[in-house]
Amino acid sequence: MSENDARSNLGMNRRRFCQATGAAACAVAAGGAAVLSADFLRPRTLLEPSARFLADLPDAIEVGEVLTNEIYRAYVVRAPDGFRALSSVCTHLGCVTRYQPDQRIIACPCHGSRFSLEGEVIAGPAPQPLPTFEISISPTGEIEVNTAAVVPTGTVFRL
């Protein structure tokens, strides 16, 4: 019996080794593709917070007071004639504005736009007034602001 015959009787030669290695590589690739396909087909859901937030009880907010909600990027203003909720995002390039109580204005630190407490543009490059949000009274009696519902500028919520 020659040496080649002895190797072939052992059951593993170079050809069979390469075939087994290739089959194993294909199996690993197919398994990886199956895992990625299953992950791709899984639905992606984004749980966003509610567009509504509670500000405070109406009687707890004094006339002329401005509440800032940084999470929802909104102001709640108590004017002599009622309440209004304004966006704190500047209509120029989307910077977040700041309420300046000493001047009683809303100012954009990025490009100098200035807004009145009614949301109207006083100065700067802002092309439009600040959006005004819908206000209602919650079942607990608090002011509830809906940042998903924009109402006409100048809209005031009266009790």
Same domain, 131 and 85: yes
CATH number at residue 127: 2.102.10.10
Cβ–Cβ under 8 Å, residues 107 and 97: yes
**90: Cβ contacts below 8 Å, ≥ 6 apart:** 96, 97, 108, 110, 111, 113, 126, 130
* Number of residues in the chain: 159
Q: With respect to residue 30, please indicate whether it lies within any of the assigned structural domains.
A: yes
Same domain, 82 and 138: yes
Q: With respect to residue 158, please indicate whether it lies within any of the assigned structural domains.
A: no
CA distance 57 to 61: 7
Query: What is the number of domains present in the chain?
Result: 2
Q: What is the pLDDT of residues 66-92, one digit of tens each?
A: 999 999 999 999 999 999 999 999 998
Q: With respect to residue 159, please indicate whether it lies within any of the assigned structural domains.
A: no
Same domain, 129 and 89: yes
Q: With respect to residue 104, please indicate whether it lies within any of the assigned structural domains.
A: yes
Residue 151 tokens read as 């109402």
Report if pTM > 0.75.
Answer: no
CA distance 151 to 18: 71
Same domain, 71 and 135: yes
Q: With respect to residue 26, please indicate whether it lies within any of the assigned structural domains.
A: yes
Same domain, 129 and 88: yes
- Looking at residue 13, what is its pLDDT? 85
What residues make up the domain containing 66? 52-151
Confidence of residue 127 (pLDDT cuts 50, 70, 90): very high
- Looking at residue 44, what is its pLDDT? 78
CA distance 137 to 155: 15
Task: Name the average pLDDT for the chain.
Answer: 87
Confidence of residue 100 (pLDDT cuts 50, 70, 90): very high
Q: With respect to residue 13, please indicate whether it lies within any of the assigned structural domains.
A: yes
Same domain, 112 and 80: yes
Same domain, 34 and 57: no
Cβ–Cβ under 8 Å, residues 15 and 7: no
Q: With respect to residue 27, please indicate whether it lies within any of the assigned structural domains.
A: yes
